[in-house]
Amino acid sequence: MRITGGQARGITLTVPKGDAVRPATDAMRQAVFSSVASWVAGATFLDLFAGSGAYGLEAVSRGALGGVFVEKDARTAGYIRQNIAAVCKSLARSEADLQVVNADATTVALGVVPDLVFIDPPYELIPAVGPKLFLQLSAWLAEKADPLVVFEMPGELTMTPEGWTCVKRLGKGVRQPTVCIFRTNRALSG
């Protein structure tokens, strides 16, 4: 698994062995970042259920200023720290603006309000945590004019969170990974 674009393109990311992490595929991340390119440069991000940190690190490689990776599993969070170090070394930049928080993504407290949110939970958790996450996001992102949420989910699942609209869906097929890109209804009506 590698960074697919930007200045750190080609840097290998490490992931724990086994099924503890289901990283987003390179092709899916390329499609996502082609679709959200105008939001990334200069942005701050939040990577929930971060796993390997691939989504957030792609953003860093493509010009994001900084962000927070939230991962519940302490061992997996260690892999994110290794991946941050590798990407930052490649970019000759400090790791200071990148934070790994070892916490539950559904209860974490934020200090910084991000411009861009990546959510890639274990698929079996989505029906239970999806609505709760969007309620939190509505509160967290209230001061942002046009925040963007990138939510990976299986193709057979559809979400219609109150106050949000899926403006684009990437991927296809039942039982295949897809990504929904959500914007707030207030941003779309303004």
Residue 15 has a pLDDT of 83
Provide, rounded to the nearest whole percent, the portion of the chain with pLDDT above 70: 96
Interval 28-51 mean pLDDT: 93
In order of 20, 26, 27, 84, 120, the CA distances from 14 in angstroms are 13, 14, 17, 10, 17
Is residue 4 within 8 A of residue 26, CB to CB? The reply is: yes
**Cα Rg for the chain, rounded, in angstroms?**
15
| Pairwise CA distance, residues 107 & 92, whole Å | 33
Q: Which CATH superfamily, name and number, covers 26-189?
A: Vaccinia Virus protein VP39 (3.40.50.150)
Higher pLDDT, 111 or 89: 89
pTM above 0.85, yes or no: yes
pLDDT-derived band at 37, boundaries 50, 70, 90:
very high
Residue 163 has a pLDDT of 93
Residue 133 CB neighbours (<10 A): 24
Please provide the average confidence, as pLDDT, over all residues in the chain: 90
Q: Which residues are within 8 A (CB) of 24 and not within 5 positions of it... i.e. 6 or more apart?
A: 32, 54, 55, 120, 152, 177
In order of 18, 69, 83, 84, 122, the CA distances from 51 in angstroms are 12, 9, 11, 12, 10
| Pairwise CA distance, residues 53 & 61, whole Å | 12
Residue 2 has a pLDDT of 87
| Pairwise CA distance, residues 115 & 149, whole Å | 9
Residue 174 has a pLDDT of 77
pLDDT-derived band at 190, boundaries 50, 70, 90:
low
Residue 134 has a pLDDT of 94
Is residue 45 within 8 A of residue 114, CB to CB? The reply is: yes
**Structure tokens given for 142:** 């209230």
Residue 137 has a pLDDT of 92
Interval 58-82 mean pLDDT: 95
Residue 40 has a pLDDT of 96
**Structure tokens given for 90:** 């490649």
pLDDT tens, residue by residue, 94-104: 999 999 999 99
pLDDT tens, residue by residue, 142-158: 888 899 999 999 999 99
> Token match 């990577």: residue?
47
